[in-house]
Structure 1
């Protein structure tokens, strides 16, 4: 992360950096710069951060207080020393695991590389088996609720809850003779672009969990705004472990008309 966004007098000193411009975006950039310094220099004081970023200590403390409230940093008193001996204890800040989560990660690249290796060593079937096991874990904790649901609509609500618990931010909207299940976020969208087995396995497992056929209309992995699945709830026809391609072929295509 480049934390030197503008230049001020003295900014050409070694290690000098300044905060981004004012405004909402500038405030966010400054906070990111504070996080980066806490990561690289922590335990670090607000005064040290302020000196590096050429900001007021009070301003830096406001950012640190906000980050501490979010759980991104933690603080403690640490004894300081000066040429005359011990000084007053100073409050120092370190980054927490939640704070590290704010930093860029390469998890998607790692996941793709792992699946590529799996495909090389075990073939396509190994990737498919992994994708299915992952999808099954999404609904595993809700099996009892799915079994207890009185109808398809009830199972759709349970499935939406399971998806939300897994980070998919799911919602349900009644559309015609069924429910439209939307996944507004996909934690593995970038990986699924290269390995569509992830989406296919989800559809298979969800269809089995619902006990009826369903039709996937859109996916984030294909560039849509969110993943959308139509599940008919009136006059629904039961399907037992039907593979996804056959489900889609035997499901009518929906239109806006």
Structure 2
């Protein structure tokens, strides 16, 4: 029953650290007006969840004190509209140099990723390549899962698309991803569902 209140308290602590920087337990206690024991309990949970980290700072007088600050994971909880800026810049580029310039950018990105990950695929069979590709996409935020339907038949599903707002406007980004997969896997790849085209996820059917 206390979960919503506890979540609200932790959200306030995150907001305080975002606006004021690293804080000590005493500073948080004074600001929130709750017991130090309650604050320590919240901090322990947040540190366990990877949202905050502690460090010791030296003071002019007395012993070093421990302060808590946000981790990169917590920073990502705050609103960021990188895609808005990216879309604005791409729009300006398209207006100045035409749609072909945008397509060239996506092609160059595809070629760069192909060079970056090609060595990961060396010496692997198709199943191992698909598994490695799933790991790469997971690391990049695509929330990927993979199913094997036969000896040389796989289905790769992406439940999230970090560049969905861009792909919604510039479908060439999706085309480049498809061809990147074909190159890395050295296999036939067919996209049967796409988040940028009102799908629930991106689905790739992979066959030798």
* Equivalent in the alignment of 2:37: 58
Query: How far off is 1:107 after superposition?
Result: 1.6
* Equivalent in the alignment of 2:182: 207
CA deviations on 1:108-134 (whole Å, 9 max, x unpaired) are 212222222222233212211222233
Q: SS in structure 1 opposite 2:40? A: helix
CA deviations on 1:137-194 (whole Å, 9 max, x unpaired) are 44433313434334x4444333323323333232221236721111222211222122
Sort the Cα spacing of 1:48 and 1:107 in 2 relative to 1 into closer, same or farther, 3 A: same
* Equivalent in the alignment of 1:252: none
Query: Normalising to structure 1: TM-score of the pair?
Result: 0.67
Would you say the 8 A contact 1:44–1:93 is kept in 2? Answer: yes
* Equivalent in the alignment of 2:23: 44
More relative contact order, 1 or 2 (CA 8 Å, 6+ apart): 2
Q: Residue 93 in 1 paired to residue 83 in 2?
A: no
CA RMSD of superposed structures (Å) = 2.8
Correspondence for 1:76 among 56, 64, 67: 56
Query: How many residue pairs are counted as aligned between the two chains?
Result: 206
The correspondence of residues 11-26 of structure 1 with structure 2, limited to 5 A, is: 22-23=2-3, 25-26=4-5
Sort the Cα spacing of 1:40 and 1:201 in 2 relative to 1 into closer, same or farther, 3 A: same
Query: Normalising to structure 2: TM-score of the pair?
Result: 0.80
Sort the Cα spacing of 1:217 and 1:26 in 2 relative to 1 into closer, same or farther, 3 A: farther
For 2:22 and 2:138, locate their aligned partners in 1 and report how far apart those are by CA, in whole Å: 36
Q: Residue 128 in 1 paired to residue 103 in 2?
A: yes
Query: How far off is 1:39 after superposition?
Result: 2.1
More helix by share: 2
Correspondence for 2:83 among 108, 117, 120: 108
Would you say the 8 A contact 1:172–1:179 is kept in 2? Answer: yes
Would you say the 8 A contact 2:117–2:184 is kept in 1? Answer: no
Is 169-178 or 181-190 further displaced after alignment?
A: 169-178
Correspondence for 1:144 among 107, 119, 123: 119
For 1:87 and 1:146, locate their aligned partners in 2 and report how far apart those are by CA, in whole Å: 56
Query: How far off is 1:87 after superposition?
Result: 6.7
The higher radius of gyration belongs to: 1
